[in-house]
Amino acid sequence: MKKRMDMNRIAQISVFIIIAVFLVGGVLITFFLTKKTNSFNGEFSSDAQVQAQFDEIRNSIADCMKFTSEDAVEMIGIQGGYYLAPKSNFDLGWAFIPYYYNSGKFSMPSDVEIEKQLGMYVDDNLKSCFDEFDYPSFKLDYFIKSLTHAKIDKQGVSFNIDMPISISKESKVFTLQLRDNDVKIESKLYSMLEVAKYVINSHKEDSEYICISCVDEMVKERGLYFDMLNFDDGASTLYVISQNTTEIPPIAFEFLNKYPVKMPTSLV
């Protein structure tokens, strides 16, 4: 009798263990179904209407990434590779133009520094675009700031924005990883920097001369325009390197050189 009771008790315990396993498994399955992290692409819901709303949010996020990156390239071009003003610059009020050469002192930023400045612009301005979203049936959670890495190459500028965004509706949660969706902006910033470096390196050899024909050949090969304009008190020269395009206004790269007496003599 005792042996039979022990067997019954063992059977009951086994049933409880099996039930517990199913309960725990069910909780884990529910967790992974409702709380999942995916790349930038993926399905949120089997409900067509809900999925369409989710796709609209995702497209809006992608648009913000693109528009903010485009603004970064344009602003950094106007400000000679800078987002934050360097010590030597001319303040226009709405923007500034840096001095690359100022009475014997050189201060052109490196490509690495310009890439850093591009990333900083995106990090400081991307959230303001997201804040304008109006999707009351969804909840969006994201960090205050992203971490963006920009890369300049001959084709343009690419941005890798490291910022997860959680999109939730009721118990369903989907996390977009922005870093899985690089933004590529077509630009001739790389070529513009080549021309700017040539001008500055020429001054390092002789600050009184510039080979205009050499610069002219460079810009023609790269599909660019090049202008030198008297600026402010006449002791400074504004250099403008712009894309040879029908776009209005064209994307431009600008910097200032300040000379002790007069602008350098041109060499044909």
Give the pLDDT confidence of 113-152 residue by residue, as tens digits.
999 999 999 999 999 999 999 999 999 998 778 899 999 9
pLDDT score for 45: 74
Q: Which two tokens stand for residue 155?
A: 């084709």
Secondary structure class of 107 (helix, strand, coil): coil
Mean pLDDT of 99-116: 94
- What was the pLDDT predicted at 223? 93
Phi, psi angle pair for 22, to nearest 5°: -65, -40
Q: Edge to edge, what strands does the sheet with 183-186 contain?
A: 147-153, 156-162, 183-186
The pLDDT assigned to 21 comes to 40
Q: What pLDDT score does 26 carry?
A: 43
- Rounded to the nearest integer, the mean pLDDT of the chain is 83
The pLDDT value recorded for residue 51 is 87
Burial annotation 99-128 (CB, 10 A radius, 16+ → b, else e)? bbbbeeeeebbeeeebbbbbbbbbbbbbbe
For the ranges 28-32, 42-46, 90-94, 139-143, the maximum mean pLDDT occurs at 90-94
Reported as a pLDDT band with limits 50, 70 and 90, residue 24 is very low
Other CB atoms within a 10 A radius of the CB of residue 175 amount to 17
DSSP character for 261?
S
CB atoms within 10 A of CB 157: 23
pLDDT, tens digit (0-9, with 9 covering 90-100), for 160-175: 999 999 999 988 889 8
Query: Residue 2 pLDDT more than 90?
Result: no
The pLDDT of residue 12 is above 70: no
pLDDT, tens digit (0-9, with 9 covering 90-100), for 208-217: 788 999 999 9
Residues 6+ apart with CB under 8 A from 74: 251
Residue whose entry in the numeric block shows the structure tokens 């200032």: 256
* pLDDT 10s digits, 173-206: 898 999 999 999 999 999 999 999 999 999 888 8
The mean-pLDDT minimum among 30-44, 87-101, 129-143, 164-178 falls in 30-44
